[in-house]
Each structure stands twice: as structure tokens, then as C-alpha cells.
Structure 1
Amino acid sequence: MVLDVTHTTHYRYSQPAWDSFNELWLQPTDDHRQTRLAFELDIAPKVTVRTHRDRFDNLIHHFHLPHDHTELVITARSTVVTYETPAPLAVSARTLPELRHRFFEFLAPTARVPLNENWHRVFGALPLDPEGDLVGYVSAMTSYLHGRFTYAPDATDVNTPLADFAQHASGVCQDFAHAMLALCRSSGIPARYVSGYIHSKPRGDERLIGAEASHAWVEAFLPGSGWVGFDPTNGCLVSPAHVKIGHGRDYDDLPPVRGLRRGGGDSSLSVTVQVRHALSRPAPPSSDA
């Protein structure tokens, strides 16, 4: 599937802002299930952009805007080819102890995914059978969270604790992903947070949820298959409709945009995301010349 992604972030300030430092996690990655064909970043006001890679090898664009401005517009345009991947192979949960040291970073608690709760009890989810199949269990948890919770864009914000999401039973893809990380890590399954996009193509009589903004899902490490993507918001395996930006321990490792500024007074933020088939782009106007 060839997909075009346009992601626009627009800040408005009631007073001039200056010394704006920003980091952007907006460029799709190249890996075994997708190829990045193009990426373009436009920033207004114009500014010099540099890049570096973080500890998880995600590419970050960063810039400093020193002079006064009352608006900041960041537009990222990408074209990506995504591919079908084989279904994960069945593997016993008895393999998990072998992964503890190798993937400790994706088993440890974080501020957004604390492990001081019995998350299986909190979410009403069944624990992992020590003799069971990992693929079946992670797939079941993906379906369970999709059915147990309601996707509601205004129900939570970026700082809503996981326990509040469990209590209110509604939230956004970030909440679903953090809930699944808690269940996987509590079970000893290495799991990492993935940031990206999703194309809301029809799936039977349904449409995939979350295309109107950045999307998030989980990759679990399954011996014999490697890192496998599961989307609890939609209750499915990751498919060619998913475009990956990068991964980390939780949302804090790769927010789409993170920055600091001086001044600015009150601010407002609007974000628009569009994901569409590249072949649906309008043709250029014809010429009679």
C-alpha cells in the first residue's frame, strides 16, 4: 500500500514568543514492513533544522527559533510503502524467562506505565497461562482491550494517568497502548510503545479508528517472530494501513512535537493529520500548449 501522510501542527500565541526550542518525531522509519519514499518538513517562520538519533534509533528533527513570532506552523509530508507481513508463529510462554535480561528496558516500569498495580485485576483481564501460547495471549489481550474500552477523543488528555483510563473506560489510542504495555510487561512479555499513523480504510463493514490524529500501538517481542505490532484501539494485528514513526518505552520517549519557549502568553494548538492512498492524489492540471 502506498500512503501519503500530511501532519500539520499549528501554535498560536497571544503575545510574541522567542527562544523556541523544538524536537520533532515526525519522519516515518524504514524497516521490514515499510519503505519511506519521501519526507518533507516545512516550518514557518523559516528556520534551520538539524537531525539526530535518540537511544532507540528514532530520527529526531530539532530547531531553535530565536526571534519574536506569534505563530509556529510545522508541516510534515511523507510518502510510504507498507507491506503485508507473515502472521507470528506460535510460541510457548515458557520462553519468557530467557528474555528478561535482553529486553529489560521494555519490561521495566515507567512514569506512564507503572507496575505497582495488579493491572490484570484493574482491567479485568485474564493472566497469562505459564504453559500457554504467547501469540494467542497477546492477540486475546488486543481484542479484549478493544472491546472493554471506548475510543473517545475528548475523554482523556496527554497527562491522564493509566488508572484513570481504567476507571473511566474510555480514552484515545495512547491510553489503549499504555494499558496493553502494562498487561504485557506485568506478564513478562517485552513490549514497546509505537507512534505512527493509520489509514482508515474499510475493514469489512468497519473502519479503522484513529486516523484523524497521530496513532499509537504496541510491539511485543515474540521468540521466533521478533517484534510484532498489535493495535488494541482497533483490536487487530498491525497491517499495511499502519505507518510507523518510531518506538520507545512509552509516549514520553517520542511525542510528535516537544518544545520549550520564552514568552508567548496564552497559546492554542491545532493538529490535523491526513492519511490517504497516494494514487488518490489529484492529477496536475492538463495543458493545451
Structure 2
Amino acid sequence: MTDHPTSNNPPVSRRYHLRHVTTYDYADAVALAHHDLCLQLRDLPYQDVKNASVRVEPTPDMTAERQDGFGNIHHFVAIESNHDALNVVAEATIDVRDREVPMPLNTPAWEQVRALVSGDGFPDTLEPLECSLASPGVSIVSEVTDYARKSFAPGRPILEAVQDFNHRIFTDFKYEPGATAVTTPVDTAFKARAGVCQDFAQIAIAGLRGLGLAARYVSGYIRTTNATQSVADPESSDDEGKAKAKTELTTTLPINETELRGADASHAWFAIWCGPEIDWVDLDPTNDLIVGTDHVVIGWGRDYLDISPVKGVILGGGKQELSVAVDLVPDDAA
């Protein structure tokens, strides 16, 4: 198998400045709004988060913070006065270090890992088991399982097999913003052979779970570049996908950096559980990478629905327009 890059061989450590602005403009006044925000980046062994803030305008009448079962931080906000716009700004400074990833050929056979997930040598935590089952946003689809199986020859090391599967998604599927909505089922995106980072991550997850392996959905950001894009997404059921989404990126690409796909808002990829000694390894099928210092993590769950950036309910509002602007700027591009 041809070697595939690890985040295009970026620096082993990097500092980023993040600014993520989400704005809703409503045609009519909103009398009451309850929102669940999952925009707080996590501190991790390879990621230090500093000066993090999530600000909401108008000022909420009530706020609360909670941690979900995966350890992600959510902010609940309630606005109980009339307003015709909502503005959410998430900012942080993040130090990211390269992760320790074993050589793919040195990882255990995928069947051995599957046995650990399914009960022989029950995993130390329930998360791998939970992430091996169908979830609300990721169904087990036989066609996707069969597609994944081509990378999993008997006895093949798990990370080598998953890296090959990741590469095939990158090669066989077209990155096409606007081809899908956040509500598009896995089987629909798979048949279309087109979509965006969310679709590719969930197709990978469905294929791996169909083989009895544990895979989780990871939400975050990827180093941004110069781009502007508008996406119509009228079918979305969550706030970030409703109405008309306009994404504006203004960051200058550093010299000698490779342009990355998916730097249009928040990004998504998947992680595979490789057994208790290795634990989770993150891969990005949108860019054919093992994740490194080009990526910043918000958190993870079973699928997109567990970790939507903004979701909630409003009373009133009428037609709404959503705009999202993300900059993840490395210090050497600031």
C-alpha cells in the first residue's frame, strides 16, 4: 500500500488563534429562544486551550454549562426577550502538538481489535462498545459495510486497513459543498458518491461499525485558507444548517503549506479504536490524512447529532438567514 501523509507533514507543534462567528438574522422577531452550543474546545494531551470564550448577543437571560457523556462541554442559553438577530462568537488560542501514532504495520490485526470490542477482552471503558453500534445519525448499511470490507483482508493490521479505507473514500468520493444537508442519511450520501466532511466521516464510521469495529465522530476545525462559499441547506434540522449558510474565510495560507479541503466552517473526521494499548487514532477522509497539527478538536460523539455546534428551538422568527465565518490562524500566518 502506498504511504499516505500525516497532515501533510506539518510542524510537530503549532499555535492557532480561533475565531468562529455564527449569526442568525430573522425576518420577524423571536420572542423566545433556547440554544445548546457545543463550541468549547477541549483540553487534551496534545491540545492546550487558552483564553477560550463563547459569547452570545443579545445577552441571555439564563445560561448553564454541562458536560455530556463523552466529556464535551455544552453551553445552554435562554433568551426570553424579543430579538431579530442572534450572534455567537467562539474564540480561543490553542497550542497543538503532533500525536503519537504507531506505524500502521505494527498495529494488531483488525479481527483481534474487533474481538475486544465485541466482548472477548471487554474494553476498559464502554465508549468503544457504544461507538461500535448504530446510532441516530449513522445507520449500519450493508452496501457501505461491503465497500469497507475490501480494505480489511484477513489478518491485516488495523491501522493499515483503516488508512487504506480512508484513502479510498478520499479517492472515490467527490468533495462537493451543497450536495448534501446535515440531515442527509449515510446511504444517500454513499450512493451519490459526493458530499462534505460530515458525510465522509459518517460513511467511514458506518463502514467500520458494520465490520464490528469502534469508530467515533470528531468535530473541530482545520487550518483555514482563502475561500468564500455559500451553501443552501433548507432541509437541515439543526441551527448551523438552517436557511442559507454563508461561509467567509479570510485567512492567508502560509508559505509552503498544502491547501486543505473542508476549511469552510467547522470540520469533521473520524477516529478508530485500535485496542487498549493504542486507543483512538484520528483520520481525515476529506484530506486523506492521519490527523496531526493541522486539526483542532472541539469534541466527539457517536455521530454529528451528538455534537452539533449550535442547535435549539425558537418561538417566532419567520424566515432566517445563517452566516458562519471561521478563521483558524497559525501564528506564522497572523
2:118 counterpart residue number = 100
Q: How far apart in 1 are the matches of 2:43 and 2:319? A: 38
Q: TM-score, normalised by structure 1?
A: 0.91
For 1:136, what is the secondary structure of its paired residue?
Answer: helix
Contact residue 20 and residue 90 of structure 2 kept, 8 A:
yes
Distance 1:196 1:124, change over 3 A: closer
Shift of 1:50: 2.1
Q: How far apart in 2 are the matches of 1:143 and 1:204? A: 23
1:109 counterpart residue number = 134
Distance 1:10 1:205, change over 3 A: closer
1:209 counterpart residue number = 261
Q: How many residues align?
A: 280
Q: How far apart in 2 are the matches of 1:129 and 1:107? A: 19
1:90 equivalent in alignment to 2:107: yes
1:140 counterpart residue number = 164
Q: How far apart in 1 are the matches of 2:159 and 2:266? A: 26
For 1:3, what is the secondary structure of its paired residue?
Answer: strand
Q: How far apart in 2 are the matches of 1:22 and 1:124? A: 37
Q: How far apart in 2 are the matches of 1:225 and 1:187? A: 19
CA RMSD of aligned residues (A): 1.8
- Residue number among 163, 167, 173 corresponding to 2:197 in the alignment: 173
List gaps (5 residues or longer) in structure 1.
Answer: 282-289
Q: How far apart in 2 are the matches of 1:129 and 1:35? A: 38
Shift of 1:120: 3.6
2:58 counterpart residue number = 45
Letter in 2 for 1:111: P
- Residue number among 197, 220, 227 corresponding to 1:196 in the alignment: 220
Q: How far apart in 2 are the matches of 1:124 and 1:2? A: 36
For 2:156, what is the secondary structure of its paired residue?
Answer: coil
- Residue number among 233, 255, 258 corresponding to 2:311 in the alignment: 258
Contact residue 148 and residue 207 of structure 2 kept, 8 A:
no
Letter in 1 for 2:115: P
1:161 counterpart residue number = 185
For 2:30, what is the secondary structure of its paired residue?
Answer: strand
Moved more, 65-74 or 161-170: 161-170
Residue-by-residue CA offset, 1:119-148 (whole Å, 9 max, x unaligned): 143x47615223111010011011110111
1:75 counterpart residue number = 89
1:56 counterpart residue number = 70
Residue-by-residue CA offset, 1:219-270 (whole Å, 9 max, x unaligned): 1111231111000111110011100001100000000001101111111111
1:21 counterpart residue number = 34
Q: How far apart in 2 are the matches of 1:41 and 1:127? A: 41
Contact residue 120 and residue 126 of structure 1 kept, 8 A:
no
Letter in 2 for 1:170: A
Q: How far apart in 1 are the matches of 2:25 and 2:259? A: 33
Contact residue 48 and residue 95 of structure 2 kept, 8 A:
yes
Contact residue 272 and residue 280 of structure 2 kept, 8 A:
yes
Q: TM-score, normalised by structure 2?
A: 0.80
For 1:271, what is the secondary structure of its paired residue?
Answer: strand
Letter in 1 for 2:287: N
Q: How far apart in 1 are the matches of 2:15 and 2:257? A: 22
Letter in 1 for 2:37: L
Contact residue 208 and residue 214 of structure 2 kept, 8 A:
yes
Q: How far apart in 2 are the matches of 1:124 and 1:84? A: 28
Contact residue 48 and residue 94 of structure 2 kept, 8 A:
yes
Contact residue 127 and residue 187 of structure 1 kept, 8 A:
no
Moved more, 98-107 or 58-67: 98-107
